[in-house]
Homo-oligomer: A and B are copies of this chain.
Amino acid sequence: MDRRKMLGLAGAGAIGAAAAGVAGATLIDGATHPAQAADAGAAIPFYGEHQAGIVTPAQDRLHFVAFDVITDKKAELLDLLEKWTMAAARMTSGRDAGSIGAVNGAQEAAPDDTGEAIGLPPSGLTLTIGFGPTLFRTAEGKDRFGIADRRPAALADLPRFAKDALKPEISGGDICIQACAHDPQVAVHAVRNLARIGFGVVSVRWTQLGFGRTSSTSRGQVTARNLFGFKDGTANLKAEDTQLLKEQLWVQPGDGAEWMTGGSYVVTRKIRMLIETWDRTSLGEQEAIIGRTKGEGAPHGGKAEFDLPRFDAKGADGEPLIAADAHVRLSHPDANDGARLLRRGYNFVDGSDGLGRLDAGLFFIAYQRDPRRQFVPVQTRLARQDTLNEYIRHVSSGLFACPPGIRAADDYWGRALFA
């Protein structure tokens, strides 16, 4: 029984019809707008070769959580991973987190579900798990669960980058779960119930809410804007790039750590934007720093957003049209041995900073086959040379190994890792 049927609101057909109603929101050019995604109410399959929430067309809302594992008992952790997998399969299909739902249990017991998503459709919810370096060996060097030798080489601790201003309390974590959905209440409900199920085994280390997904992950999506006001993710890896995804996104057989084959590595960076400073910068300087126009998002010297940047093009003054230190140049695969990332970041506003400014920016999320050859060299270059650094601060960092998808109902998150 799904959340709606339970309350007698609708049968499956009617839910489909309601979802289709929401889905009518394609824009004039046929591409879907971030806040009006096609089929925003529908469910995204949980089972598959890869985890959902990676190449899935980026939903509009994020609730990301990093947990510390607070038990040393492997059996307790495995039990939780099995319970989590079951709850994730249920919630992503629009059901309560457990079989005793929010309102159908005994009066004497706490329900298996907290109830705030009653009546809401699945809303494109995906739940994507990742395992951090400290799950394999704690910061103190302890191999709590006997898996230190299964740590993939690609899950190497990130180096310290120039200008990093990381806060340890909102960085790292033993396990992450990325919840994405078209309705924040559904994403929040999912994380809250996973935390509830994990009581006594895991503890919430940090969480991040996001909105207005930047970085389309599908050619069917309009490129959204970050809080600098620029389109973000025009040149992102996309679901349709089948061959590139093999090369750049999914761990392949022989990459080492066979349990990760079909998985991917995710890097998260909370990037505070000094938006008050940016907002007083001239349009021309903003566009020079990014290397694209603000309105259309075209690379300088081009006309349209998806025109390829011509890095050798020069203006009448003999200067390159795209500056030597423009963000689009420094981050481009041409400057990074072809390295690409599948980004699915979100804008955030976390209130104010106590100094009269909004605490706002980009929660950067990037999936890749091997951070040592992708995120690390790209970010090393950006941290040293990007003029954008005057307007941003990296305040948190995370790195997690996201295993392949769950293919059978008796499988669970992490089984191959711990087998």
Closest-by-CB residue of B relative to A181 is B35
Interface of chain A residues 204 through 238 with chain B (CB within 8 A): 204-209, 211-212, 222, 224-230
| In-complex Cβ contact of A185 among B119, B120, B123, B211 (8 A) | B211
Report A81 CB to chain B, min CB distance, Å.
Answer: 19
Report A199 CB to chain B, min CB distance, Å.
Answer: 7
| In-complex Cβ contact of A283 among B103, B185, B226, B357 (8 A) | B103
The residue among A26, A70, A358 with the most chain B CB atoms within 10 A of its own CB is A358
Count of residues in A whose CB is under 8 Å from the partner chain: 97
- Encoded as 1 (CB less than 8 Å from any B CB) or 0, chain A from 167 to 211 comes to 001100000000000111100100110011001000111111101
Q: Are B14 and A358 in contact (CB under 8 A)?
A: no
Report A240 CB to chain B, min CB distance, Å.
Answer: 22
Which of A146-154, A156-164, A288-296 lies at the binding interface?
A: A288-296
- Encoded as 1 (CB less than 8 Å from any B CB) or 0, chain A from 88 to 107 comes to 00000000000000111111
Q: How far is the CA of A121 from the CA of B347 in the complex (A)?
A: 18
* Residues in chain B near residue A243, CB distance under 8 A: none
Whether a CB of chain B sits under 8 angstroms from the CB of A409 is no
Whether a CB of chain B sits under 8 angstroms from the CB of A354 is yes
Q: Are B119 and A360 in contact (CB under 8 A)?
A: no
* Residues in chain B near residue A204, CB distance under 8 A: 352, 356-358
| In-complex Cβ contact of A349 among B36, B169, B209 (8 A) | B209
Q: How far is the CA of A197 from the CA of B393 in the complex (A)?
A: 24
Whether a CB of chain B sits under 8 angstroms from the CB of A63 is yes
| In-complex Cβ contact of A280 among B110, B191, B295 (8 A) | B110
* Residues in chain B near residue A40, CB distance under 8 A: 36
Whether a CB of chain B sits under 8 angstroms from the CB of A338 is no
* Residues in chain B near residue A209, CB distance under 8 A: 209, 349-351
Chain A contact residues, CB within 8 Å of chain B: 6-7, 9-10, 14, 18, 21-22, 24-29, 33-36, 40-41, 61, 63, 65, 68, 70, 102-111, 113-120, 123, 169-170, 182-185, 188, 191-192, 195-196, 199, 203-209, 211-212, 222, 224-230, 275-276, 278-284, 287, 293-296, 347, 349-352, 354, 356-358, 360
4 new A-B contacts at CB < 8 Å, known A104-B295, A350-B350: A22-B24, A22-B36, A103-B295, A107-B284
